[in-house]
Amino acid sequence: MSESASHLDAPPLLERLVEALVYPRQSGSLSTLAAIAATHVVADWLPSLPGMVIDFIAWTTFLKYALEVLRWSANGRDTAPEFGFLVSESAGWFGIGVLIVCQILVVVAGSRYGTGAALAVGAAIAFAVPAIMMLIAIEDSNWLALNPLSWLRIAARLGAVYFVPVAFFALVVAAQTLLAAALGAVLARFIAVFALHFAVGWLLLANFRLIGVLIHDHGDEFDYAGDPGLRRETPTADNADKVIASARTRAASGDAAGAAALLLDELRTNPQSIGLHVEYRRWLREGCAKPATPQPWPRTAADSSRCCSISARMRAPSTSRANRNRAIPASRSTSRPTSRVSPPQRRMRGKLKSRSPCSAASTNAFPAIPTSCAITCSRRNCSPSA
């Protein structure tokens, strides 16, 4: 089997292992580990049956989050998820059920056939668990995860690298037993319970992270194209800086409107970038400040008559509400009628303003910048002014 491009470009395995060990220090995973460990402390205080139920729910919740970490890592995400939304609720219940069955098998083998049989069954389980978790998280197939042929197929595609998470899982199980004895001897019970589950959860998350990055690095071997919801990372600041530099180059050549359009396209995919917003508004205003070459106005006699009629209507005097309610003296009512603007005339005035050529051009070219356009008219000429 030839090595894929993603495999050749992957970081060394030791670097991946160190990165997986420090992965849980992120805020999302730290808060989850603390909450799960505190839940185990509460379960330890309660009587046997309620405590067992809460303990089971806590482990199920943790496993669902760990499967979410695996799936995010398999899609190239380096940030820990704040919450799970890709892995179904049934995946956590199914995964914890598989682990309980595996634990029962180890106990039964040890009680009936001795320590050697228990170790052999434990080694087989450690070999199968990474493949089972891969299939649950990536394929969303619970029954495929129970097929031993699927485990062997995954191990064959990864090669010797597959045994790294296998050994990691076996070490986590051994560390859980040793930490339980050591912490219980030197710490108070509730502190020991919290510290034990926090440490074990940390190591398990690191193992799931390692499994996920191995899938990502060997994606061609698995024919895994990625999850549609996680295929693309959030655009980085480097992408925004490149777009801003391109926009400035275009604006320097005199195309401020083109620079604004370029920034607008990037804003549709990266709306969180403050720099893009600032730069977009800057070149949008620059484009408004430099309009196109003015054309002769009016172009026709019809435009001139329409402009003058618009201006005449806009200059029509209006009265305030107080003047409308005030009685008109008889001496003035016959000689000087008061001009009043009816509501239909006011609405027509607003429509005429919005239909003016300057306002329409400004609105179509730069919709984000409010503009005002007035029309000045004299007896001989008529021209738009912004």
Q: What is the largest CA-CA distance in the chain?
A: 123
* Predicted pLDDT at 250: 81
Which of 169, 192, 222 is a domain's end point? Answer: 222
Do residues 130 and 166 make contact, with C-beta atoms less than 8 angstroms apart?
yes
Q: Return the DSSP state at 136.
A: I
Supply 25's token pair: 């220090």
Q: Which of 183, 199, 222 is the last residue of a domain?
A: 222
Its domain, for residue 272, covers: 237-289
Q: What is the pLDDT of residue 360?
A: 42
Report yes or no on 283 lying in a domain.
Answer: yes
Q: Which residues of the chain have pLDDT under 50?
A: 1-6, 8, 232-235, 291-339, 351-386
Contact between 307 and 382 (Cβ < 8 Å): yes
Residue 319 lies in a domain: no
User: Is-cis flag, bond preceding 298, omega within 30?
Assistant: yes
Based on the domain organization, do 24 and 139 belong to the same domain? yes
Number of folded domains that form the chain: 3
Same domain, 194 and 249: no
Instruction: Give the distance, in angstroms, between the CA of residue 53 and the centroid of all CA atoms in the same chain.
Output: 34
Helix 256-269 and helix 274-289: axis angle, to 10°?
150
Give the model confidence (pLDDT) of 169-201 as tens digits. 999 989 988 999 898 889 899 999 999 999 999
Q: Domain for residue 335, yes or no? A: no
What is the predicted pLDDT for the residue at 84?
A: 62
Shared-domain flag, residues 82 and 160? yes
**Shared-domain flag, residues 47 and 155:** yes
* Cβ neighbour number for residue 31 with a 10 Å cutoff: 12
CB 36 within 8 A of CB 24: no
pTM of the full structure: 0.57
Tokens linked to 198: 């926090």
- Per-position b or e across 95-118, b if 16+ CB within 10 A of its CB: bbebeeebeeebeebbeeeeeeeb
Cα gap 300→297, rounded to integer Å:
8
3-state secondary structure of 384: strand
Q: Return the pLDDT at 124.
A: 92
Question: Do residue 191 and residue 246 come from a single domain?
Answer: no
Closest CA to 43 of 188, 176, 184, 189: 189
**Which residues pair with residue 377 across a beta bridge?**
382
State whether 130 and 266 are in the same domain: no
| 140 shares its domain with 256 | no
142 DSSP 8-state letter: T
- Tell me: do 86 and 52 sit in the same domain: yes
Residue 347 lies in a domain: yes
